[in-house]
Structure 1
Amino acid sequence: MICQKAEEIFATEPRLLNISSPCYILGDIHGNLKDLLLYSQILWKSTPFINQSRYLFLGDYVDRGQYGVECIIYLFCMKILAPQNFLILRGNHEIRDIQQQFSFYGECCTRFELELWDSINKAMDRLPITAIIDGRLFCAHGGIPITITTLEQIRSVPKRIENPLYSSFETWEIL
């Protein structure tokens, strides 16, 4: 249910988010629940609704750490509760092929069921890939491909990409 609701929200968002400040930018979490909970204690203390700040996560929420499922579900819940405050971009570890090479696929299969892995990935397939803060600061997990010369090219990337490595070279380069 959480994954499906998150997927619905992500499906309405553009590939290039326009964000206004104040905005905190957070990098790789990689299944480190302790750090994610520390961020919550420091940055959005009791509730994100009181605070007018936005929180932009740049990708790589799963793999490597022990709590990838908990981290991504936590972020999905925050997105559902405060969709304008929690902005979640896709990184290269939000791709099935990468997860199968690292730990997230095994974590899901061992601790939960393959169905959960699939539900999480269906939502992550729709994550935005870039953001611009105050029209001046470009944010992405990876970088800007040499083939992209305009923001319109990013905006035109398909809404759902299951495997960017094979279906969208530009997206793969951004991730």
Structure 2
Amino acid sequence: MSTVTELFTRSGVRQRVGGVSEHPVRTNSDYNRLRSINLLPGADIVIFLPLQMSLYFNAFYSPLWLVTLVVTLQTKYAVLATHYQFATILIYIVMVIVETARLYLGYQGNLREKIPELTGFWLLTLLQTPLTLYLLVNMDAVILPLERAVNIVLLLFLLAQLLLGLRALQLMVKAQAVKFHLSQFSSLRDETVTN
């Protein structure tokens, strides 16, 4: 029993609980302090966990994907026709840039609840999906089995993130609308408290 009490005291919970019980009525300064640290109702950040998990695993998979693309390109480069050499290198460069920007925007948009970044992530995912399909379907580009395997996994990530990103956008827009409406009420409350 004493260890629970020590833990309770050490973690500072006693001071927090004591502070709440001593001041049951909130003043305007308490309200402003709570608003500044986002502890008011409706101030929660909406993080869509399935999308974040997908982004997390994709971030670890992307370096493996990139190394595999470089190795397979080096292996098949001499066999490709000239126009396929140029097209394949161009698509790889675009995909690496898009993948990097896409993962960054996905992390920023989901973790910080930024709708423009999450929308950019979703649009870049929409752009990268046909490029990955081109690398999987175009038989004239000499598709190696290892290349096909890593691109199928990437395509699965992309399709999942298209669906999860759309759902995350819907949830965040709804949460932002609730925050906006609550902020209208809190501004009315601030005006009545100051008057």
Q: Same fold (TM over 0.5)?
A: no
Larger CA Rg, structure 1 vs 2: 2
Structure with greater strand percent: 1
Shorter-chain TM range is under 0.3
TM-score w.r.t. length of structure 2: 0.25
Q: What is the TM-score when the length of structure 1 is the normalising length?
A: 0.27
Bigger helix fraction: 2
